[in-house]
A and B are shown apart, each in its own frame.
Chain A
Amino acid sequence: MSLCFSADKLKEVQQIIARYPEGRQKSALLPVLHLAQQEFGGWLSTEAMDYIASLLGLQAIEVYEVATFYSMYNLKPVGKQVLEVCQTGPCMLNGSEAIVAYIYERLGIRPGETTADGLFTLKTVECLGACGYAPMLQLGKNYREHLTREKIDELIAAASDRPVVATT
């Protein structure tokens, strides 16, 4: 199998497994899938999921059914920067639709699409728990809140100008 965690990451997997009682290592699946997505290019290929199954001693189907259930796992390749714009009620009341439209204006991508250069993917997501700081988007591990057109410009510029590291 070509996909493999580094020695460091394998150690991290062991630490995750140790959070649960003996024999309950299936519980490590969600956190280990987060780690796999971070390490293997921002998405979970079948190969990656099969690897995780073998690592945790699970059937492949046990991994597939979980990976397909949760919205944070990407099952297709994504851009290096994934702009996840919240569109639920409170964000909508504060202009999230205009933010999605402005990203289209700037990058030419609609929800679910990736720019031709592979830099940006736009996703619309449901409530991320930042309702008081709307409109907002998630970029990697961080929330960008109180969004304006200027802030979108800034984050596009910041992501395009310097070498981009895959975010988690």
Chain B
Amino acid sequence: MFSNLIFRNSRRSRKENGLFFGSMVISIMAFYLILSLSSQDVMSFLKKMESDGVNRLMTLIPIFYAMTLVILFFLIFFACKYQFERRRHEFGVYLMHGMRRSKLFGMLLTEDLISSGLALLIGLPSAVVMAEIISLITAKSVGMGIVDHQFSLSGSAIIWTLVGFLGIKLLALLILSGRISRQEIGTLLAQPVNHPKKQLPKAVYAIVALIGLLMLGMAYYMGNKVGGAWATPAKMALALGLGLIGTLFLFFGMRAFIALLVKANKGNKKLHVYTFRQIQENVIYKSSSMAISSLLILAALCCFGAGLSISITNKMYSDHVMDYTFSRFADDHYDVEITDDSTKLLTLVESKLQENGLADQFSDIFEIRLGNVRTTEDFENAYDMSAFTDAIASTGTKTSEDILNNLRYQGFPTLISLSSYNHLLEMAGETPITLQQDEAAIYIDPSFTTADEAELMNEILLTRPKTTLAGETLYLTSEVQTQKLCTDRIVTYSFALIVPDEVFLYQTQGDYFTYVNAVLSDEAKDGNSLMSVFTQVNEQLNATGLQYESYLQNMGRNLFFKVASSYITIYLAIVFLVVANTIMGVQFLMSQQKTGRRCQTLIRLGATYETLCQSAGKQIRWFMGLPVVVAAASSMFGIRALLIGLDASSGMSSNNLLLLVAALMMVLLCIVEFVYIIVVKRASDKYLLKLMDIKREE
């Protein structure tokens, strides 16, 4: 009989509290998804190429796991608490009839195990399917053929999911049943009541809310100002602290504004005063958990925004021109004839490719010539561009300081021959530059400059500043050039001069070196994903003994960064969002139950079921909406601040990206909130229907 009771109770709990059961399933999925990251297609592929990065990420997984554990503990705890609150009276009856507390605990544990088992039965397979879908989508979106996809089932992920999930459930159950067992039977049997909280004068709340708003404003300002929150860790801590306390203050003081809404009852709407008093009460009792939910949603939105912008901005295929770079040094163990004379490298590479039947794989093979000034012995002051730097300094902006920091020690610049650089520009589909014999163009690797800096330099370059290179006059002209010179990511020049070929040969005295760049032909790329073409060509090139650097490595790095950071940020975003919403939903339902008697009074006074549901719906929308709206408003500034912080160096100030990210974020937020509000509303309607059946108490 006892086991029947357990089964029946367990089934009833699942039926009555779908929100709780749903949150268990979500927790299981969250655990599995983070733990199975290492067995994702893209990750196992990247292990071959970017093992360092992948390994470092994998060492971080336990930290994310622990974090998820803590966050989901709160989720489970709140959901469990709600469940227990609903059943207080029932527990009281059991104890009243002589059930021992240990037996009650055993019963609850068994009930819980049954529900957990079912949640695992649903959650784990769904998580595996979800992980597969994510794996497939990422594999597809980065260009790996579907052929490469392998079904993966991570045993360790399953075990740790079980351990984590059951662990937090047991802990939550222990704490809650401990609380129940400490209560007197009489308290358990009595209807739970909300004891009124002592209230301070209204003005105090209004002032606190205004201070909160002010603090939030300051935090936003610091986050969005260059040199603000991102300048030093201390400033960042201050901005975060202001934001955190500001949000708490705002929610604490919000009751003052809700009180105004209570009074604003135009047209004597049905239950307007009651509805807003209920909302006000929730805001009073739950101000800190509303603030925490709001902060969690903000964190979710920022994570989601960051993850999205990372995955949107890192376009891997469009921003590269060359696919391969051959350099002059080869590994010793290859028994091939290598020339020391770098000028002959191009010929060597071409003949090697020809010999190995690889010539048709490449559509273009060309060299980039670079060299140092050899016409003077004064290596430190071979180049003087004070006219240019003075002009920049005279603008007196923060940007000018950054530029000057970079240009300060450029007395001995590398030279690039104009014809080879123009070839590069043509390949990139840009207009070649033209230079007179006494003109030069500035080259800076994209990683050393920002859009703002380039813009400022371009303005100055319009004035053709006069400089001298080893005594010869050179006028700086054209725009700042930033094309990558070769595929090797290590090769970056913080400053170089592009000079006409004659000047180049004269200044280098013919002592220069080359990078031989190659572009894959369309035939080679035809019909295959870029990734598999590279893998194939690499294998063939390995046989030739040529030393090369392919774009694949670079791509692997990018890919790793993109996948890892967007996966984790979006994952965290969803976990935060789910937790925040579940906490709010459960809190609302709990307080609704505590104030159930009020609804019964309203029914006696002639409130219909529909009227009560409408009022409850409004309360839910406000209770869940307030944290969401505050978080959404904060996130607009938060995302901007994040983009400013993360992309300060790349100079991305694109408002379009911000808009796109914001729009996607809002769509996600609306969908999630809509789903949650519906779920909570349903639970509330069900509860109200139960109340409609009123009884006179003796």
Q: Do A and B come from one complex?
A: no
Instruction: Mark A residues whose CB is within 8 Å of B.
Output: none
